[in-house]
Chain A
Amino acid sequence: MENFEPKIVGFLCNWCSYRAADLAGSARIKYPPNVRVIRVMCSGRVDPAFVLKAFSMGADGVMVAGCHPGECHYIEQNYKAMRRFYMLKQTLVAMGLEPQRFELVWASAAEGQQLAEAIERMTDNVRRLGPLRWAENWADDPQREEALQHIVKEHEEALEVIS
């Protein structure tokens, strides 16, 4: 699987992260072509069903990107996106998905560079994992418990940033 190019779906919010991607373009920042963007008005619009659908249709990874906590165009809807994200991620990981395949990124409209880096990081991670082989992964993963705990911890830390 040397030439494996992962297909990653990126749900980007209209106000911050989509504009961050625009900015990365205007600044001619280079990053891998693996993330394909779907624009939504707000990260809060990302229905968990979209994520499941993406994976079921063959996406190797899904990225959700929104405005930084406290900077949501819709005041606080990215918090709701965040809660959903961690809940969904925990479920998916418990069901055998490698945690690196589903990521949440905050990128303000000024953070083209940061978004590009996040895309590069995620692409590398998913490329290393190879294509999504959920059926084979269903077997017990010794590190799953640790990964789940890590997600809980990450969520707690994210909540701290908010409060």
Chain B
Amino acid sequence: MAERVGIYVCHCGSNIAGMIDVEEVARWAGQSIKDVVVSRDYKFMCSSLGQKLIEDDIREQGLTRVVVAACSPHLHEKTFRRACQNAGLNQYLCQMTNIREHVSWVSTDRQKATEKAKALVAAAAERVKHQRPLEQGFVKVNPATLVIGGGIAGLQATLELADAGYPVYLVEREPSIGGHMAQFDKTFPTLDCSACILTPKMSEVGQHENVKMFTYAEVEEVSGSVGCFKVKIRQKARHVIFEKCTGCGICVEKCPRKVVDNVFEAGMGYRKAIYTPFPQAVPRTPVIDTANCTWFTRGKCQVCSKVCPTQAIDYDQKDEIIQIEVGNIIVATGWKLFDCTRIPQYGYGRLANVFTNMEFERMCNAAGPTGGKIVLRDGKTEPRRIAIIHCVGSRDVRHNQYCSAVCCMAALKFGHLVLEKTKAEVYSFYIDMRTPMKDYEEFYQRLLEEGMHFVRGKVAEVTDAARLPDEQGSLIVQVEDTLLGTQRRIPVDMVVLMAALEPQADAKELGLKLGISCSMAGWYTERHPKLDPVATMTDGVFVAGACQGPKDIPASVAQGAAAAARVAGMITAGKVTIEPIIASIDEQKCSGCRICNNLCPYNAIEYDEEKGVSRVVAAMCKGCGTCVSACPANAITGAHFSNEQIAAELEGILWDAIADGRPASAAPDGSKAPQSTPVGAA
């Protein structure tokens, strides 16, 4: 039986009607397209009256298919689907075609725009006849949430959810939560002590009844989808039994093996082979660094085991895989520091007194390796002149094009600390001073008044090759001062490089496990840069903090809270709808060639050894359709984007070319203007 198609062409006020002859499009469609029983134009289709028009026609005219030619389906597809649903027509039997964004708004010639609109309407009409009713599925949302990363963004998200009464699993790679913020001394622009504001949050998380914390652990595998993810967590062997350890610290004190701490102390200080990263660590349970422990490397020592009052040391402990189930996942994995040796002309690693920003953070920290004293690499000499170089690895096409967002303010903070703690002169070498947030510009003004020197220009090199007598023994910063328009050489004793924030080295790998993508620069991609900044393209996976792009503490906290709010919303709703746009395999046609198996990035296609056929796991399929177009046997169907539907759409969209009788082989004659050949007949 033939379908009964209704066509609705929207004027959108003058937005569409101003450039397209909508009456003509509706009239033409009604006359020329096969199976069209109603074809109307209307001022505003999305208005309640417009929707009623469709609903009435479905009821009264017995429409079985609906085409709405209006704006982008991203704007109003839901509206018209709902209207169809209201009138008892399956919502997937409604097709929108975009004659506003794609035609009227971008065209300048009314006649050509009208022709294009006709083609698009014809395409939608041909397609819609082949569409099938589909049902949306529902999945219950597990109220538990996984938060990956225990930095400030992850902690905030964890607390928001836990305080709301929902269970949270927090996974942190390092032995303690706290993240980079725990390494800082002061925070800009208020200069409040980082530890003072962070550690209460850390202990709150550590003690929260709704939080289950896995530190020194990593996410191994993620399967399932929104509402019911299954996650495998690798709890790395601490070699300290968590339940027995009281955190007294005597093992750390007695451990004879000192190791350079490249993580927390940024290489500036030492820790023991059994250690907690810092005194306020949460949890207090230490870990044994087996690569350096003398028992593990040489089979001698066991001092920690001897001194432990609770027999908590277990040298034989193995990594453990823990399985959990959660409804949503918040990714807050943060950033890593740019490797400054990649810019050799700045001398890091070659010239002793060139420091990175993280080294300098530790140096300024009263609990740090120098006890908060700003000194040269020899550990005692106070510098007289300090250069702070901005944008090291940021805003540089050779490394990272983006701005790292926090360095200008951190440099100002450093300047303040230098002026407060020492008698040194301090120079900032900046390209542009970026202080856009609340109270930031005021802080810059304050530093101008405090006497920090500002030189606008990108530093060419830091060298110890002196040219003039007063440069001898100094580090010389060679820079073009773009405000003075002159080359300058400024001798200093110490250089601090404001290294860029970069995505974690394994960000992509974790992204693959979670099914979320990274931008070219390697940051996780949010669903929409403005309107959906913490969701990702994978339902149920949210991002927060610097893993989505460089950002400072306030922004990370805001994102952590925002992600938690989104998750709380999901949990409260209790269920999520699942789009039925997925692939399915006809077992009769499948030859078992397995070409499709490796094409799926979600591993949603499994192979049935017994039957020798492949099968799509519906819950895991995201509906991209790549397997559909790869199947040599046409055994795979993409629901709502089937081969038949797209072929029909092609026939409609090229109706005039077909009517022209101008398939590839014939000599063309463009002068023939097709008028009323029935499209569906083709």
A and B touch in their complex, CB below 8 angstroms: yes
- Footprint of B on A, CB under 8 Å? 1, 3-5, 7, 9, 15, 18-19, 21-26, 28-31, 33, 36-42, 44-50, 53-59, 68-77, 80-81, 84, 109-110, 116, 130-136
- Starting from the known contacts A38-B650, A45-B641, 11 additional A-B residue pairs (CB-CB under 8 Å) come to A3-B670, A28-B106, A30-B108, A37-B102, A41-B625, A57-B654, A80-B626, A131-B662, A132-B664, A134-B665, A135-B664
Contact between B106 and A57 (Cβ–Cβ < 8 Å)? Answer: no
Among A9, A42, A131, the residue within 8 A (CB) of B668 is: A131
Closest to B108 in A: A30
Contact between A33 and B113 (Cβ–Cβ < 8 Å)? Answer: yes
Contact between B629 and A33 (Cβ–Cβ < 8 Å)? Answer: no
Bound together, the chains give a CA A44 to CA B629 distance in angstroms of 8
Closest to A53 in B: B650
Closest 8 CB pairs of A and B: A25-B101, A58-B657, A45-B625, A44-B626, A47-B629, A131-B668, A42-B624, A74-B624
Q: 7 A-B residue contacts at CB 8 Å?
A: A3-B670, A29-B106, A41-B581, A45-B641, A57-B657, A71-B520, A77-B626
Contact between A37 and B519 (Cβ–Cβ < 8 Å)? Answer: no
Chain B: residues with Cβ within 8 Å of the partner, total of 65
Among A33, A71, A136, the residue within 8 A (CB) of B103 is: A33
Bound together, the chains give a CA A48 to CA B629 distance in angstroms of 8
Contact between A74 and B601 (Cβ–Cβ < 8 Å)? Answer: yes
Tell me, rounded to whole Å, the shortest Cβ–Cβ distance linking B401 to chain A.
Answer: 14
Closest to A135 in B: B665
Bound together, the chains give a CA A50 to CA B651 distance in angstroms of 11
Tell me, rounded to whole Å, the shortest Cβ–Cβ distance linking B676 to chain A.
Answer: 18
Q: Within 8 Å of chain A (Cβ to Cβ): is B74?
A: yes
Closest to A97 in B: B664
User: Using Cβ atoms and an 8 Å threshold, which residues of chain A touch B668?
Assistant: 1, 130-133
Contact between B626 and A74 (Cβ–Cβ < 8 Å)? Answer: yes
Tell me, rounded to whole Å, the shortest Cβ–Cβ distance linking A137 to chain B.
Answer: 10
Chain B, 113-141, CB within 8 A of any chain A CB: 113, 115-116, 119-120, 123
Closest to A70 in B: B520
Convert B563-606 into 0s and 1s, putting 1 for each residue whose CB lies closer than 8 angstroms to a CB of A: 00000000000000000010000000000000000010110000
Contact between B100 and A25 (Cβ–Cβ < 8 Å)? Answer: yes
Contact between B102 and A40 (Cβ–Cβ < 8 Å)? Answer: no
Among B518, B628, B658, the residue within 8 A (CB) of A45 is: B628
Tell me, rounded to whole Å, the shortest Cβ–Cβ distance linking B483 to chain A.
Answer: 33
Q: Within 8 Å of chain A (Cβ to Cβ): is B622?
A: yes
Q: Within 8 Å of chain A (Cβ to Cβ): is B109?
A: yes
Contact of A71 with B641 at beta-carbon distance under 8 Å, contacts A58-B657, A58-B664, A59-B657 already known: no
User: Using Cβ atoms and an 8 Å threshold, which residues of chain B touch A136?
Assistant: 667
Bound together, the chains give a CA A45 to CA B600 distance in angstroms of 12
Bound together, the chains give a CA A4 to CA B657 distance in angstroms of 12
Closest to A132 in B: B664
Q: Within 8 Å of chain A (Cβ to Cβ): is B3?
A: no
User: Using Cβ atoms and an 8 Å threshold, which residues of chain A touch B537?
Assistant: 15, 73
Closest to A80 in B: B626
Bound together, the chains give a CA A80 to CA B515 distance in angstroms of 17
Contact of A75 with B515 at beta-carbon distance under 8 Å, contacts A36-B116, A41-B641, A80-B626 already known: yes
Convert B338-380 into 0s and 1s, putting 1 for each residue whose CB lies closer than 8 angstroms to a CB of A: 0000000000000000000000000000000000000000000
Chain B, 606-642, CB within 8 A of any chain A CB: 622-626, 628-630, 638, 641
Contact between B663 and A72 (Cβ–Cβ < 8 Å)? Answer: no
Bound together, the chains give a CA A7 to CA B528 distance in angstroms of 32
Tell me, rounded to whole Å, the shortest Cβ–Cβ distance linking B182 to chain A.
Answer: 32
Closest to A37 in B: B102
Contact between B624 and A44 (Cβ–Cβ < 8 Å)? Answer: yes
Tell me, rounded to whole Å, the shortest Cβ–Cβ distance linking A162 to chain B.
Answer: 11
User: Using Cβ atoms and an 8 Å threshold, which residues of chain A touch B474?
Assistant: none
Contact of A54 with B654 at beta-carbon distance under 8 Å, contacts A22-B101, A25-B101 already known: yes
Tell me, rounded to whole Å, the shortest Cβ–Cβ distance linking B659 to chain A.
Answer: 9
Contact between B663 and A56 (Cβ–Cβ < 8 Å)? Answer: yes
Bound together, the chains give a CA A137 to CA B409 distance in angstroms of 63
Bound together, the chains give a CA A71 to CA B521 distance in angstroms of 10
User: Using Cβ atoms and an 8 Å threshold, which residues of chain A touch B98?
Assistant: 21-22, 25, 37
User: Using Cβ atoms and an 8 Å threshold, which residues of chain A touch B623?
Assistant: 41
Among A3, A48, A57, A68, the residue within 8 A (CB) of B658 is: A57
Among B101, B123, B525, the residue within 8 A (CB) of A24 is: B101
User: Using Cβ atoms and an 8 Å threshold, which residues of chain B touch A75?
Assistant: 511-512, 515-517, 601-602
Contact between A25 and B625 (Cβ–Cβ < 8 Å)? Answer: no
User: Using Cβ atoms and an 8 Å threshold, which residues of chain A touch B518?
Assistant: 70-71
Contact between A68 and B654 (Cβ–Cβ < 8 Å)? Answer: no
Tell me, rounded to whole Å, the shortest Cβ–Cβ distance linking B33 to chain A.
Answer: 16
Contact between B115 and A33 (Cβ–Cβ < 8 Å)? Answer: yes
Contact between B650 and A19 (Cβ–Cβ < 8 Å)? Answer: no
Convert B309-324 into 0s and 1s, putting 1 for each residue whose CB lies closer than 8 angstroms to a CB of A: 0000000000000000
Contact between A9 and B74 (Cβ–Cβ < 8 Å)? Answer: no
Contact between A4 and B641 (Cβ–Cβ < 8 Å)? Answer: no
User: Using Cβ atoms and an 8 Å threshold, which residues of chain A touch B520?
Assistant: 68-71
Tell me, rounded to whole Å, the shortest Cβ–Cβ distance linking A58 to chain B.
Answer: 3
Bound together, the chains give a CA A5 to CA B643 distance in angstroms of 28
Bound together, the chains give a CA A38 to CA B650 distance in angstroms of 8
Q: Within 8 Å of chain A (Cβ to Cβ): is B647?
A: yes
Contact of A38 with B653 at beta-carbon distance under 8 Å, contacts A5-B112, A25-B105, A44-B629 already known: yes
Contact of A53 with B647 at beta-carbon distance under 8 Å, contacts A45-B625, A45-B638 already known: yes
Contact of A56 with B622 at beta-carbon distance under 8 Å, contacts A22-B72, A38-B123 already known: no
Q: Within 8 Å of chain A (Cβ to Cβ): is B660?
A: yes
Closest to B667 in A: A133
User: Using Cβ atoms and an 8 Å threshold, which residues of chain A touch B528?
Assistant: 109
Tell me, rounded to whole Å, the shortest Cβ–Cβ distance linking B219 to chain A.
Answer: 17
Contact between A9 and B529 (Cβ–Cβ < 8 Å)? Answer: no
Contact between B101 and A77 (Cβ–Cβ < 8 Å)? Answer: no
Tell me, rounded to whole Å, the shortest Cβ–Cβ distance linking B535 to chain A.
Answer: 13
Most buried by B among A23, A24, A31, A40: A40
Closest to B599 in A: A80
Among B115, B625, B663, the residue within 8 A (CB) of A40 is: B625
Contact between A71 and B517 (Cβ–Cβ < 8 Å)? Answer: yes
Bound together, the chains give a CA A134 to CA B547 distance in angstroms of 51
Contact between A26 and B105 (Cβ–Cβ < 8 Å)? Answer: yes
User: Using Cβ atoms and an 8 Å threshold, which residues of chain B touch A39?
Assistant: 73
Contact of A22 with B74 at beta-carbon distance under 8 Å, contacts A36-B116, A37-B102, A41-B624 already known: yes
Contact between A71 and B525 (Cβ–Cβ < 8 Å)? Answer: yes
Closest to A130 in B: B668
Contact between B100 and A47 (Cβ–Cβ < 8 Å)? Answer: no
Contact between B517 and A73 (Cβ–Cβ < 8 Å)? Answer: yes
Tell me, rounded to whole Å, the shortest Cβ–Cβ distance linking B479 to chain A.
Answer: 33
Bound together, the chains give a CA A75 to CA B638 distance in angstroms of 18
Contact between B105 and A28 (Cβ–Cβ < 8 Å)? Answer: yes
